[in-house]
């Protein structure tokens, strides 16, 4: 672009020189010709020199051509300048919202920080991410999504100070930088609070009424983040913390968030190695028949036997597996190990395995479970798949298809955490469940809270009317177990019956109770779980 501009400037200069020379020549020749013509008219001289007249005409033409060429070149240069200005704007701005892009925010933000420090002020950066935006795109299309982003940008402009820098960083993520008095951070908090409140209201986009919310992270330059890059990183960490805390809120960055994020990233990297290396192993929680106190089976739980940190509970790594998409691989690995361990148990003992909501989005889930059953030699009739109510919200039709395929192979289904969802009765009618499991949040307090006891009683009666036996989770003492038995609950599980057992621990328990029926030969492609060394 600079080379073409220089060439245009040189061409315009050359044209100007030629035009000036032509004008000077025109003046010289023209004065002579005009003198001759005037003398001829007055009769004091002979006719004008034809050569000079022709030269004057040619000179006039040259002036006109040169002037036109000069005007054309000037127009071209103006067009180049306007195109270059437009290119600079496009390079610095998001075309959808008109906001700065990430690159120009870095440049403008750096200048804002320098100016703020010079005036004894600070810069606050608000990183804003729209919650549930992907659902809008999936349900209504990208045109509606783009329209929503445009409307959101207008709301952001209306709420934030006019001096603020506004940027769209990509997708549904925005950044707003503003100068504030370090002694009055509440000014920034009020802006963040207004943004969160407004974006939680319904929007009209392309004629569609859509509902979203936002999570926002705040960082300030006077608390160690002296560069725009550091502010963006701190704001991003705080935004992630706001999402983790439930979304539809804002949070200020503090160093504990960074430490927590590092710990999470370390777990994530470790998990990617742990799953294929068999460090995530099944543990077994006993399920008891309340009427006879007989052991009927186990719920399969996941534990991470970390080579350095020891035993890690599922509350620490299951959410990471969900977020990163590793949950499907983890779940099938746990199933494979549990099925292999339980092949030679008493045929009356069942295994219950919980399925995550993300797995129910996989149309091949039933086939994968059945394949694992076949490869490990574990009977489908001894498997109970537990599905939570929340897992049914995304795609009930797909869940029905998966459930039907599993039922056709003899696998039983249980509706887990019953009572915590929003449409329990509808789901009981929609899927062929064989059992209801009462969430432990109701069970643990039945002897102290009358409302919990009433809910548990109602669920048990509902199960009786639908011919669906009920299992209570979270039985922590004998008093709760006795109360459940009196209510007519069929089964119970919880620490009252012992902590979850490792594969070696459960095998020892079953051997003592004579519930091992003889070692079944393991398929050649499955390593027996009992051959591995496990912590008890």
Residue-wise pLDDT for 348-376, tens only, equals 999 999 999 889 989 999 999 999 999 99
Summarize the confidence of residues 256-271 as an average pLDDT.
92
Which two tokens mark 407?
Answer: 């039922």
- Of the pLDDT bands very low, low, confident and very high (cuts 50, 70, 90), residue 129 is very high
Summarize the confidence of residues 305-314 as an average pLDDT.
92
Q: Residue 4 above 80 pLDDT?
A: no
Q: Residue 529 above 70 pLDDT?
A: no
Q: Residue 6 above 60 pLDDT?
A: no
Higher pLDDT, 393 or 157: 157
In DSSP terms, 125 is beta-bridged to: 177, 219
What's residue 39's pLDDT?
Answer: 56
Higher pLDDT, 313 or 30: 313
How far, in Å, CA of 303 to CA of 308, rounded? 14
- Of the pLDDT bands very low, low, confident and very high (cuts 50, 70, 90), residue 526 is very low
What's residue 164's pLDDT?
Answer: 95
What's residue 533's pLDDT?
Answer: 33
| 249-252 sheet: strands from edge to edge | 165-170, 173-180, 122-131, 213-220, 249-252
Higher pLDDT, 43 or 134: 134
Q: Residue 177 above 70 pLDDT?
A: yes
- Of the pLDDT bands very low, low, confident and very high (cuts 50, 70, 90), residue 536 is very low
Across 19-23, 313-317, 357-361, least confident range: 19-23
How far, in Å, CA of 43 to CA of 38, rounded? 8
Q: Kindly report the pTM of this predicted structure.
A: 0.70
- Of the pLDDT bands very low, low, confident and very high (cuts 50, 70, 90), residue 135 is confident
What's residue 223's pLDDT?
Answer: 85
Summarize the confidence of residues 451-456 as an average pLDDT.
93
Which residues are within 8 A (CB) of 187 and not within 5 positions of it... i.e. 6 or more apart? Answer: 180, 181
Convert the pLDDT of each residue in 229-244 to its tens digit: 999 999 999 999 999 8
Tokens 């986009």: give the residue.
205
Q: Residue 7 above 70 pLDDT?
A: no
Higher pLDDT, 17 or 304: 304
Residue 280's nearest CA partner among 245, 254, 251, 316 is: 316
- The alpha carbon dihedral of 269, 272, 278, 281 has a sign of positive
Give the strand pairing for 122-131 and 491-493. Answer: unpaired
How far, in Å, CA of 60 to CA of 260, rounded? 82
What's residue 161's pLDDT?
Answer: 94
- Of the pLDDT bands very low, low, confident and very high (cuts 50, 70, 90), residue 155 is very high
Asked if residue 413 lies in contact with residue 374, where contact means CB atoms within 8 angstroms, the answer is no
Asked if residue 444 lies in contact with residue 476, where contact means CB atoms within 8 angstroms, the answer is yes
């Amino acid at each position: 672009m600079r080379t073409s501009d220089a060439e245009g400037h040189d061409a315009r200069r050359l044209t100007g020189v030629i035009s000036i020379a032509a004008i000077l020549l025109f003046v010289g020749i023209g004065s002579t010709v005009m003198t001759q013509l005037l003398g001829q008219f007055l009769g004091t001289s002979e006719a004008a020199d034809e050569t000079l007249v022709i030269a004057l005409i040619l000179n006039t033409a040259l002036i006109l051509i040169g002037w036109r060429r000069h005007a054309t070149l000037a127009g071209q240069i103006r067009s180049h300048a306007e195109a270059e200005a437009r290119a600079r704007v496009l390079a610095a701005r998001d075309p959808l919202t008109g906001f700065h892009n990430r690159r120009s925010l870095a440049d403008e933000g750096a200048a804002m920080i320098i100016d703020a420090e010079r005036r004894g002020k600070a810069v606050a950066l608000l990183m804003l991410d729209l919650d549930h935006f992907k659902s809008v795109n999936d349900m209504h299309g990208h045109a509606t999504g783009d329209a929503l982003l445009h409307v959101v940008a207008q709301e952001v402009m209306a709420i934030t100070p006019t001096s603020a820098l506004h940027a769209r960083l990509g997708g549904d993520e925005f950044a707003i930088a503003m100068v504030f008095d370090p002694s009055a951070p509440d000014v920034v908090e009020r802006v963040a609070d207004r943004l969160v409140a407004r974006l939680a209201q319904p929007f009209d986009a392309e004629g569609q009424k859509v509902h979203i919310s936002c999570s926002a992270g705040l960082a300030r330059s006077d608390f160690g983040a002296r560069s725009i890059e550091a502010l963006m990183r701190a704001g991003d960490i705080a935004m992630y913390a706001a999402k983790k805390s439930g979304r539809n809120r804002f949070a200020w960055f503090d160093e504990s968030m960074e430490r927590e994020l590092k710990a999470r990233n370390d777990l994530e990297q470790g998990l990617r190695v742990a799953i294929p290396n068999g460090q995530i192993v099944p543990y077994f929680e006993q399920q008891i028949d309340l009427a006879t106190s007989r052991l009927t089976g186990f719920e399969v739980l996941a534990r991470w036997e970390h080579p350095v940190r020891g035993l890690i509970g599922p509350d620490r790594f299951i959410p990471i597996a969900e977020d990163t998409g590793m949950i499907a691989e983890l779940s099938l690995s746990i199933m494979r190990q549990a099925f292999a361990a339980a092949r030679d148990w008493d045929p009356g003992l069942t295994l219950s395995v919980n399925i995550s909501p993300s797995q129910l989005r996989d149309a091949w889930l039933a086939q994968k479970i059945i394949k694992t059953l076949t490869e490990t030699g574990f009977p489908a009739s001894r498997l109970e798949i537990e599905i939570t109510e929340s897992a049914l919200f995304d795609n009930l039709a797909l869940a029905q298809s998966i459930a039907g395929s599993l039922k056709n192979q003899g696998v039983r289904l249980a509706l887990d955490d019953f009572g915590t969802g929003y449409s329990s009765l509808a789901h009981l009618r929609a899927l062929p469940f064989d059992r209801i499991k009462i969430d432990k949040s109701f069970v643990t307090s039945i002897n102290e809270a009358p409302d919990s006891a009433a809910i548990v009683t109602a669920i048990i009666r509902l199960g009786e009317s639908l011919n669906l036996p009920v299992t209570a989770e979270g039985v922590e003492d004998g008093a709760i177990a006795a109360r459940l038995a009196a209510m007519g609950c069929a089964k119970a599980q919880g620490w009252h019956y012992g902590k979850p057992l490792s594969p070696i621990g459960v095998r020892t328990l079953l051997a003592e109770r004579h519930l091992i029926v003889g070692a079944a030969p393991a398929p050649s492609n499955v390593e027996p779980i009992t051959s591995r060394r496990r912590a008890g």
